[in-house]
Amino acid sequence: MTDETICKIVKMDIGNDTTSKAIMPDIYFTIKNNEIHVFARSWKAATVNLQTMTPEKYKVKTVTLLGSDKRIKWKQNVRGLLIKMPSRLVQAAPVYVFKITL
């Protein structure tokens, strides 16, 4: 097989890629002991509203954004935990990870 043939095969495979190119924001959680890590993937909104984190279920003490020294504004009420995204975030980062201490 020549280099030209390999190049044509690769181009053909790329052209037939039917993988969705849409990027949808989503949230994942991990919990261990008194820490919850919230992974906000492809997040563009100004706030993250975690409706399941009401004061009846979780008593939040602190919220920090990993990799940032900025203070995170947040409030918790019967509607859940509302986290305000800090301004001037690096938009190239596809995932923001919040550490929530209970």
Q: Which domains can be identified in the chain, with CATH numbers?
A: 20-101 (2.60.40.1180)
* Cβ–Cβ under 8 Å, residues 94 and 42: yes
* Cβ–Cβ under 8 Å, residues 34 and 20: no
The confidence score (pLDDT) of residue 24 equals: 77
pLDDT band at 88 (very low <50, low <70, confident <90, very high): low
* Cβ–Cβ under 8 Å, residues 76 and 55: yes
> Mean pLDDT in the chain?
81
Q: Which residues of 12-28 are buried (b: 16+ CB within 10 A; e: fewer)?
A: eeeeeeeeeeeeeeeee
pLDDT tens-digit profile of 20-68? Answer: 556 778 899 899 999 999 999 888 888 999 999 999 999 999 999 998 8
pTM: 0.72
Average pLDDT rounded to a whole number, residues 2-27: 57
Dihedral angle sign, alpha carbons of residues 20, 22, 24, 30? positive
